[in-house]
Structure 1
Amino acid sequence: MPNTKKPTVGRPTALKPEFIDQAYNYCLLGATDAQLAGFFGVSEKTINTWKKQAPEFADSLKRGKTLADAQVANSLFHRATGYSHPETKVNIADGQVILTDVTKHHPPDTTAAIFWLKNRQPDKWRDKVEVNGSLKLDKETLDMIETQFVTKMAAAHERQKAVLAEREARPEAE
């Protein structure tokens, strides 16, 4: 129930008791505070005010968002590690419907595993490599690196030109 205390200033609250369950259910679907505001026809500032004035409203948002996040995290974990589930295959042979219970296996998904690890262990799995600025190279070493870079880029450019020429020389598939 919304707080029954009457505010001493301002407009009366538009928060209705049924909004608590509606907000919970909408948060289970992944709604943000901005989306809740649109759903209830109020501003995001009003949603924040309702959270302060009615702890049960704030709690319903927190519970809905937490459960939704947990379900997504669980699904991501299963994608990252692989999983199996029962499935019924439907086949039709000689006009007969044949149902066969099988176990469907889904192998681990590399992208999900990378995403999981980057978020759970960012120090070990992040893409960004931090370099401390203490590395000093002499002019001779810098010149050698530049020469190697220019040589490798020229070779890559030549390979690219050769591939493009080869593609243009192929007859079109009909």
Structure 2
Amino acid sequence: MSGQASRSDEKKRGRGRPFTYRAEFAGQAKKLCELGATDFELGEFFDVDIRTIYRWKHDHSEFAEALAVGKESLDERVERSLYQRAVGYSFDSEKVFHFQGLITRAPIVEHVPPDPGAAMLWLKNRRGDKWRDKQDHAHSGPDGGPIKTESTISLTDAPIEVLKYLASQVAK
């Protein structure tokens, strides 16, 4: 795993106090993060528990900064790749042909078309105000007040029994 301790040393020391932090750990951790290592994988590399990694980040600002810088460069690479996938890209390639026992190599330019899923993900994150799935709907009346409803009934064609009943109800 790392040069810090072998498996036989781990058996000897048990699960006691973790290794003492050393300044060179920051540089090593930065390089590992640039390669995509997670905090858990850093713990495996340094042969310590993940809680020790958290403690080192809290106690040693240079270690925390190294992890942030290492992870940031990887995030930027993923962001560039997502953008390229969203808009499409071309790259130089080579086509190999086999005809009548002869192998021929021909340089070509291949094109990867834009990916609508990547474009939507990009737009939702970069322009969420215009592209997000969630839409806000107002459930209020003018100027934020309550919604008022109004019903009108035409009684001109109502049977006489209905009109008498309504008149008796109004009189009460």
Q: TM-score range by the shorter chain?
A: 0.5 to 0.7
- Paired residue for 1:154? none
Say whether residues 1:22 and 2:25 are aligned partners.
Answer: no
* Gap change, CA 1:12 and 1:34, over 3 Å in 2: closer
Local SS of the residue matching 2:111: strand
Residues in 1 aligned to 2:82 and 2:96: alpha-carbon distance in whole angstroms? 28
Higher share of residues assigned helix: 1
Extract unaligned runs of 5+ from structure 2. Answer: 1-16, 142-146, 152-172
Residues in 2 aligned to 1:89 and 1:72: alpha-carbon distance in whole angstroms? 28
Q: Given that residues 94 and 107 in structure 2 are in contact (C-alpha distance below 8 angstroms), is that contact kept between their aligned partners in structure 1?
A: yes
Residues in 2 aligned to 1:126 and 1:33: alpha-carbon distance in whole angstroms? 31
Residues in 1 aligned to 2:50 and 2:121: alpha-carbon distance in whole angstroms? 30
> TM-score when scaled to structure 1?
0.63
Residues in 1 aligned to 2:18 and 2:50: alpha-carbon distance in whole angstroms? 17
- Paired residue for 2:81? 75
| Most deviating of 86-95 and 26-35 | 26-35
Local SS of the residue matching 2:73: helix
Residues in 2 aligned to 1:124 and 1:49: alpha-carbon distance in whole angstroms? 41
Identity %: 43
The AA in structure 1 aligned to 2:120 is I
- Paired residue for 2:109? 103
Question: Which of 57, 80, 90 matches 1:51?
Answer: 57
Residues in 2 aligned to 1:124 and 1:70: alpha-carbon distance in whole angstroms? 23
1:126 CA drift (Å): 0.6
1:51 CA drift (Å): 2.3
* Gap change, CA 1:43 and 1:133, over 3 Å in 2: farther
Extract unaligned runs of 5+ from structure 1. Answer: 1-10, 141-174
Residues in 2 aligned to 1:21 and 1:91: alpha-carbon distance in whole angstroms? 47
> TM-score when scaled to structure 2?
0.64
- Paired residue for 2:48? 42
- Paired residue for 1:3? none
* Gap change, CA 1:92 and 1:17, over 3 Å in 2: farther
Residues in 2 aligned to 1:56 and 1:23: alpha-carbon distance in whole angstroms? 11
Residues in 2 aligned to 1:138 and 1:34: alpha-carbon distance in whole angstroms? 59
Q: Given that residues 56 and 64 in structure 2 are in contact (C-alpha distance below 8 angstroms), is that contact kept between their aligned partners in structure 1?
A: yes
**Counterparts in 2 of 1:119-138, with a 5 A limit?**
119-134=125-140, 136=147
1:86 CA drift (Å): 0.5
